[in-house]
Structure 1
């Protein structure tokens, strides 16, 4: 295998036309240059230079090797430039997992902000779906995931960066006996039929834990696992529902939304990143954009 450094020495000799001139360009002694060429000729098993008067010229083999050395030199320079851009955060690629309501309220504005300040960063966005995205983060298949987790409950290998607390609102049918109130006690909903708005997981746990703290377990008569659908069932008079503020959107006709307390159910939204991930300016820029978006909201 040819030594790349010796190939670059050969290229310098071919460009300069003599060993002495190449040595001056490289900051070597002529003897050191000659030794490098001799070692390269031993590696290749053929002569690479021939003497012409006081100078040298490449043999066909020398011309071939010098050409490849020139190409390698350009590739090394390109690699150095690309690496500098990556380390400075001018380029990079990020894989992001998110859930629907966080996508609309947090991820979309944050990506727009990121692209405005860092147009060279490419982002792959993928909806998490029902599966837990944390294994993808922990095992390096995703750089960042938006998740709902209680404060201080980061699983092993994952760091949680808190973004925002998203309180739940109670959705009531228009004309409901409690609709005239601005704020309701959660216990006042204990005897109501409930419309489920969450699939099993951390968000549903937030609702159930709050109801347990208020002294009851909700009686679900409909499971929808979707905020818009849940509001449709509420509008039809089938029950009441809890929907997080970020998931309300524009409340549909036939329903009203009210604050709830005693306690107020709140889901904590975090950005999850791998604990041992190497420092990435692109990832840091995205986290900053998510924090700024969360604060602005």
Structure 2
């Protein structure tokens, strides 16, 4: 196999017309240049240079390799430029996985800011499929995933999780409910109420169950919906009360009132999950900063 670096040495000799001039241009000694050309001739199995007065000129094989060396040199320069652009965040593609309620509230303004900072980067945000989106990050199918997780949850190999936001839950009540006139609701005041479930089993439901347990009761779910808009509709119809995270209340039903919850206040933790190697990329760091700074609903 031909050595690309030796081909560039040959090209310097041919362009300059002598070994000495090529050595000066490359910063080598003339003997080092001669050794590189001799090694390339051995690899090629044919003479590449011949004497011409006090200098040298290429043979037919030497001209052929010099032409290819010029093409390779241009491609290498283009590759170095493209790599520098990618490293600096001027180009590239960023694939993001996110869950629904974070899309309009945190992700949208963060992506708008990222577009202003890195207009040459193609951003591909997609809703997470059921399961753990960190698996896609681990496999390299996504650069970053926005997830809700518990402190005790395992972190996949090669993936780092960074805290973005603590999303507090709010009490959602029918407008005619006796507690609707209160500025804030003690969670224990909802102990005897029928409940509308707003979360599937997992890290978004557990803060509700744990907070109710701390307040001394277990919620009685009479209706369940994993869609916040539908859950609000059930509450407005008088089926029960609910707890919904603030990020899930960007769109509010006119038939409900929303109040802060106290003693205790349920909270779910929102994180960004990214590969350790991706965190060295400026565009990934910029997105995490933008998500951290994004306005909340």
Residue by residue, what CA displacement relative to the aligned partner does 1:37-76 show, whole Å, maximum 9, x if unpaired? 2222221112222333334332222221111111111122
Pairwise CA distance, 1:196: 1.3
Pairwise CA distance, 1:278: 6.2
Question: Separation in 2 of the partners of 1:91 and 1:79?
Answer: 13
- 1:250: which partner in 2? 251
Pairwise CA distance, 1:19: 2.8
Residue by residue, what CA displacement relative to the aligned partner does 1:77-124 show, whole Å, maximum 9, x if unpaired? 222223333333434433321111112111111111112112233333
Check 1:84–1:266 CA distance in 2 against 1; reply closer, same or farther (3 A cut): same
2:262 paired with 1:266? no
Question: Separation in 2 of the partners of 1:166 and 1:59?
Answer: 73
- 1:165: which partner in 2? 166
Pairwise CA distance, 1:156: 5.3
- 1:27: which partner in 2? 27
The range that moved more, 269-278 or 203-212, is 269-278
The range that moved more, 188-197 or 30-39, is 30-39
- The unaligned stretches of length 5 or more in structure 2 are none
Residue by residue, what CA displacement relative to the aligned partner does 1:130-171 show, whole Å, maximum 9, x if unpaired? 312122234443332111123465535343321111111111
Check 1:89–1:277 CA distance in 2 against 1; reply closer, same or farther (3 A cut): closer
2:41 paired with 1:41? yes
- 2:237: which partner in 1? 236
2:126 paired with 1:137? no
TM-score normalised by length of structure 2: 0.90
Question: Separation in 2 of the partners of 1:82 and 1:224?
Answer: 48
2:283 paired with 1:282? yes
- 2:104: which partner in 1? 104
- 1:177: which partner in 2? 178
Q: How many residues align?
A: 296
Pairwise CA distance, 1:225: 0.4
Q: Is the 8 A contact 1:162 1:270 kept in 2?
A: yes
- 2:211: which partner in 1? 210
- 1:219: which partner in 2? 220
Task: Give 3-state SS (helix, strand or coil) of 1:100's partner.
Answer: coil
The range that moved more, 128-137 or 213-222, is 128-137
Question: Separation in 1 of the partners of 2:19 and 2:89?
Answer: 42
Q: Is the 8 A contact 1:211 1:217 kept in 2?
A: yes
Task: Give 3-state SS (helix, strand or coil) of 1:225's partner.
Answer: coil
TM-score normalised by length of structure 1: 0.90
- 1:16: which partner in 2? 16
Q: Is the 8 A contact 2:279 2:285 kept in 1?
A: no
2:93 paired with 1:83? no
- The unaligned stretches of length 5 or more in structure 1 are none
Pairwise CA distance, 1:247: 0.8
Residue by residue, what CA displacement relative to the aligned partner does 1:9-35 show, whole Å, maximum 9, x if unpaired? 111122122333323322334343333
Q: Is the 8 A contact 1:133 1:145 kept in 2?
A: yes
Q: Is the 8 A contact 2:105 2:250 kept in 1?
A: no
